[in-house]
Amino acid sequence: MSKMNLVITGVSSEIGIEVANRVASASNVLLVTSRKTEVDGFKPNFPKSVYHLQGLDLTRETDTLKVSHVARELFNKPFCWLHCAGSFWRHKSLEDTSLEEAVTMIMSHYVTLYATAKVLIPEMKQVKGGRILALSCNSVRYNYPEMAAFTSAKAAVECLIRCIANEYLKDNVLANCIALPTVATPTVKSLKLEQYHKYYIELDKLVDAIINMFVNMSPFVTGNVLSIVKHSPFFYTEGYYTRNREQMETNLR
pLDDT digits 0-9 by tens, 189-211:
888 878 878 888 899 999 999 99
> So what's the pLDDT on residue 238?
57
Helix, coil or strand: residue 7: strand
The total number of structural domains in the chain stands at: 1
Average pLDDT over residues 217-241: 74
**pLDDT of 59 above 60:** yes
In percent, how much of the chain has pLDDT > 70? Answer: 89
Residue 162 pLDDT grade (very low, low, confident, very high; cuts 50, 70, 90): very high
Residue 222 pLDDT grade (very low, low, confident, very high; cuts 50, 70, 90): very high
CATH code, 177: 3.40.50.720
pLDDT of 69-105, one tens digit each?
999 999 999 999 999 999 988 889 999 999 999 999 9
Find, among 145, 142, 143, the residue nearest to 94 by Cα.
Answer: 145
Which residues lie across from 227 on neighbouring strands? 179
Q: Which parts of 78-215 are beta strand (E)?
A: 79-83, 130-137, 173-180
Contact (Cβ atoms closer than 8 angstroms) between residue 79 and residue 120: no
Domain that holds residue 227: 5-252
Find, among 68, 73, 39, 33, the residue nearest to 53 by Cα.
Answer: 33
**pLDDT of 140 above 60:** yes
Residue 53 CB-half CA count within 13 A: 21
**pLDDT of 133 above 90:** yes
In percent, how much of the chain has pLDDT > 90? Answer: 63
Length of the chain: 253
Which residues lie across from 5 on neighbouring strands? 29
User: Most confidently modeled of 16-20, 60-64, 228-232?
Assistant: 60-64
* Mean pLDDT, the chain, integer: 89
> So what's the pLDDT on residue 245?
61
Q: What is the pTM of this model?
A: 0.89
Strands 79-83, 130-137: pairing kind:
parallel
**Distance between CA atoms of residues 2 and 195, nearest Å:** 37
> So what's the pLDDT on residue 228?
82
> So what's the pLDDT on residue 27?
67
